[in-house]
Structure 1
Amino acid sequence: TLPEFMGKRFGPNTQTILAWYSLVKMLISWLSLGLFAGGFLVRQILGIPMWQSVTVLVSLAGLFAYTGGLKTVAKINIFQMILLIAVSAFLTFLGLSKIGGLSALAQQTPTSYWSLIRPASDPDYPWYAIALGYPVAAIAFFCTDQAMVQSVLGAKNLEQGQLGINFIAWLKILSLPLFILTGIICSVLFPGLKDPSLAYMTMVTNLFPTGLNGLVIVVLIAVLVGTIGSSLNSLSTVFTMDIYLKHIRPKANNQQITQIGRYTVIMGCLTSVFVALAIDQIKGLNLFDVFQSILGFIAPPLAVAFLMAVLWKRTNRAAINTILTLGALLSLGTGICYLWIFPKDVYTFWPHYLMLSFSLFVLLLLIGIGVSLLLPKSAYELAHQHMVEIKMDKPSNRVKIAWTILFVVMLLLYTVLK
């Protein structure tokens, strides 16, 4: 885990701080946001209150994580991924067929709908906010999140791990034809839809044949339950390995470790219900912006700590601890003010949330550099600096070719859809 790496380099205090912050991050991002999305879906389908929706979902996911493990989570997630891609592809096909094809769709939509890069004057997604803000969340999300990296760390060898990450990048490209294109289709078929968060389920319930739409809904709920279960498993892993075994009971046997892991799953379920209900109270943002803004406020401390620890040898424990404590309070505090205390729909002085995330990232980076330059390394760091030297084999030719092809495809996509 990342806390374990940080602990070897900067000492046990840093490992503990990062482990707790990672727990908060996983609890809010993967677990509570996933639970909120699932509750939103179930509420839309069944018309029941949010608290009932999230309670049912977290109970199913908790049972899944309580009785399974990483291997079970990985296998089920692969199966669910294939189902979700198939369902989304079929939905896109049905929508295009009803409109009359891509050319007919293009004729009925504004030209701006087909551009990935929005002008700086765009109030929702200006290009500079996307270019500066998204990488901050991406670094924290894909490089430090235990729920993301645990499957990569479970690869048989380095090459398989690198190719696995490449495969994930290709899957991200599928969001263009399977989700963004579906949204454009929905704007033509259902122009009176007021809430864009309802677009996907509106398409499912209206385009799929009777009976099949019920199966699709079951698949979507199963995917969400699997995601929440994976998050609970990651939460349990970090608490058990980086806090319980390190500080509470270092000599715990396997039975005790398994038991505390299951208790952590139960506590994660209970806490995530309350956080999901709090997220439901956010006003003035659609479902997509709720997700991105919350991730954007969690990410800066982790992104700065990760980059400084990996890329700059001068980085010291004082800098990392400052970023993960004071920086976390600053970043999370700003997010709480933006989303709940002084919401943007009432207080219009706020800049775009992605620019806020980037500004926090730059501020914490400057603080980290300053502390590293002003304060010397601790005795622990000087005595253990040989333990963090990373020796890695060079990428194989297959890995180089895979990433080169991906780079070219991404460049073409942004060039064509600019």
Structure 2
Amino acid sequence: MEQQIDANLTMLDYGVIAVYLAIVIAIGVWVARKTRTGEDLFLAGRSLGWAAIGFSLFASNISTSTLVGLTGSAYTGGLTVSSYEWMAGIPLLFMAFIFAPVFLKSRISTTPEYLENRYSRRVRLYFSGLTIVFTVIVDTAGGLYAGAVVLKVFFPDLDIWMSCVAIGLFAGIYTATGGLRAVVYTDILQAVVLICGTGLTAFLMYQSVDFSWESVRSQVPEGHLSIVQPIDDDTLPWPGLFTGVWLLGFWYWVTNQYIVQRVLGAKDLSNAQWGAILGGILKILPTFFIILPGVMALVTLPDIQNSDQVFPIIITEVLPSGLTGLVMAGLIAAIMSTVDSTLNSSSTLLINDFLTRPEKEPDPETAKKWGMMATLGFMVIAIAWAPLIQYFGGLWAYIQQAFSVLVPPLVVCFTLGALWSRGTENAAFWTLIIGHTLGLVVFMLNQFGIWPLHYTISVTIMTAVSAAIFVALSLRDDTPDVREDALWQRADAFDTPATTAPVLKNVKTHAILLILLMIGTLVLFW
């Protein structure tokens, strides 16, 4: 039986939320007036600086399911779930030093476009179509559903369908008119609100246990304050921690259009690299601002029966008037950030990958009009699908089951495509087909208990299998399509101004800082 939550929102709280929504609307209107072409809509005119990129990466990733799901998982399973946050730094390092140079020097608009440059159009369209389906059905609809569920906790009379419609319309309209620039600028605001709101919540939770680590350690179950868990752990076994987590993150941070779009919109390569590293550094914060408070709630709020209610209860029990409204604005920010990003990226993929050909380039105004129509169309689909997610056995399971099938062959095709010139088009196409078919088989076997391995371990195994398929098929091809001028073969492909800048501006210095922060987090909570 679920606990009843008394939100106790005051007029001050409602005022804070209203001010936040008003600012978002103002940003959308202001940016819409400056959005004139398809490139403005899809890539912010390639004008984004490193700070905007880094904060937008962070805000787009911190969804409602992150705030609610991670806090609840920390309450029931401990700190091990923090690995999905701080280990994002590993794929973001790949982005900064390998893929950002390849992507930006190729002047691509979408990640599938890279696959056409490297392999063929059929590989591009396969990946693009798959990404659109998963982005709209999983990410956008999942963000709408998570937002509706959380709002219903605070406002029990709200209907999930109506909440999905309201959220979808609000985010969809300013995204359709303002494009990526509107998304990124609102993301900066959302990142600040999220950091301030969760930071204040975390401080008050630490205060509730008298800032005593020993007090927390003595009152929580054994292993709750440890990241590294036994191999039979249901939440995250240690083999999955060191291999599967960052592989899942590789898909998200390196190949997923709705995240990578910020990097593609950078004003230059140095800003793209600095932005990627800043995103990785910001991803250290959720361990201390979101996940640790979830563990501490076991001490101060020990009788919560439904883990999904841990974050809402913390807000209502700990925060004073006004700050509750700030954190509620943070929740709304997380909802909007996920929905606006996924809608914009889906329309970008549809227009650039399916409706645009070299011999049939639409004029800038037409591209903008198509993009707006696509965004609104995907918004309608996501709104219609979102409420159905409640029948899939939980949001977290829904998302993880979907992406554990999708990820392995994509990681292989992108990585070996960039680093191994012998890889062929035929190998890439059939690796995707065979890898996804095998992934579906493993998924079905897992549902019937025949394949008992944790999904993070399954992802590792399937990535190795996909790599073997790719290499074998490439070596078997008697006429490999290796191009002498290919970007990934050139010695200067990965040379950038940011790697030769003075120490404080050198991206290598920032990368070392990120690596030290990740190692420090692992050692601190080993």
TM-score where L is the length of structure 2:
0.72
Say which is worse superposed, 385-394 or 267-276, in terms of deviation. Answer: 385-394
Q: Does 1:386 align with 2:488?
A: no
User: In the alignment, what sits opposite 2:146?
Assistant: 37
Q: Does 1:315 align with 2:423?
A: yes
Residue from 272, 282, 285 that aligns with 1:174: 285
User: Distance between the aligned counterparts of 1:319 and 1:53, measured in 2?
Assistant: 45
Residue from 144, 151, 155 that aligns with 2:255: 144
Residue from 121, 127, 132 that aligns with 2:232: 121
Q: Does 1:280 align with 2:390?
A: yes
User: Letter of the aligned partner of 1:81 in structure 2?
Assistant: A
Q: Confirm or deny: 8 A CA contact 2:193 2:333 kept in the other structure.
A: no
Q: CA RMSD in A?
A: 2.4
Question: How far is 1:292 from its partner?
Answer: 3.5
Equivalent residue of 1:386, what SS? coil
User: Distance between the aligned counterparts of 2:143 and 2:212, measured in 1?
Assistant: 32
User: In the alignment, what sits opposite 2:15?
Assistant: none
Unaligned runs of 5+ in 1: none
Q: Does 1:78 align with 2:177?
A: no
Residue from 320, 324, 348 that aligns with 1:213: 324
Unaligned runs of 5+ in 2: 1-109
User: In the alignment, what sits opposite 1:198?
Assistant: 309
Say which is worse superposed, 261-270 or 209-218, in terms of deviation. Answer: 209-218
User: In the alignment, what sits opposite 1:415?
Assistant: 523
User: Letter of the aligned partner of 1:353 in structure 2?
Assistant: Y
User: Distance between the aligned counterparts of 2:252 and 2:437, measured in 1?
Assistant: 19
User: In the alignment, what sits opposite 1:300?
Assistant: 408
Residue from 437, 451, 475 that aligns with 1:373: 475
Q: Deviations over 1:193-249 (max 9, x none)?
A: 1222221111112211235423421331133112211111111111111111029x8
Q: Confirm or deny: 8 A CA contact 1:316 1:376 kept in the other structure.
A: no
Question: How far is 1:403 from its partner?
Answer: 1.1
The change in CA–CA distance for 1:332 and 1:77 in structure 2 (over 3 A counts) is: farther
Residue from 273, 293, 296 that aligns with 1:185: 296
User: In the alignment, what sits opposite 2:217?
Assistant: 106
User: In the alignment, what sits opposite 2:13?
Assistant: none
Q: Confirm or deny: 8 A CA contact 2:416 2:423 kept in the other structure.
A: yes
User: Distance between the aligned counterparts of 2:523 and 2:323, measured in 1?
Assistant: 38
User: Letter of the aligned partner of 1:250 in structure 2?
Assistant: K
Residue from 108, 121, 127 that aligns with 1:12: 121
User: Letter of the aligned partner of 1:187 in structure 2?
Assistant: L
TM-score where L is the length of structure 1:
0.89
Question: How far is 1:274 from its partner?
Answer: 4.3
User: Distance between the aligned counterparts of 2:257 and 2:455, measured in 1?
Assistant: 25
Q: Confirm or deny: 8 A CA contact 2:197 2:326 kept in the other structure.
A: no
Equivalent residue of 1:110, what SS? coil
Q: Deviations over 1:45-81 (max 9, x none)?
A: 2223433322221111111211111111111101100
Q: Confirm or deny: 8 A CA contact 1:77 1:227 kept in the other structure.
A: no
User: Distance between the aligned counterparts of 1:237 and 1:70, measured in 2?
Assistant: 10
Residue from 161, 167, 172 that aligns with 1:57: 167
Q: Does 1:245 align with 2:347?
A: no
Equivalent residue of 1:113, what SS? coil
Residue from 158, 162, 177 that aligns with 2:273: 162
Identity of paired residues, percent? Answer: 25
User: In the alignment, what sits opposite 2:197?
Assistant: 87
Equivalent residue of 2:223, what SS? helix
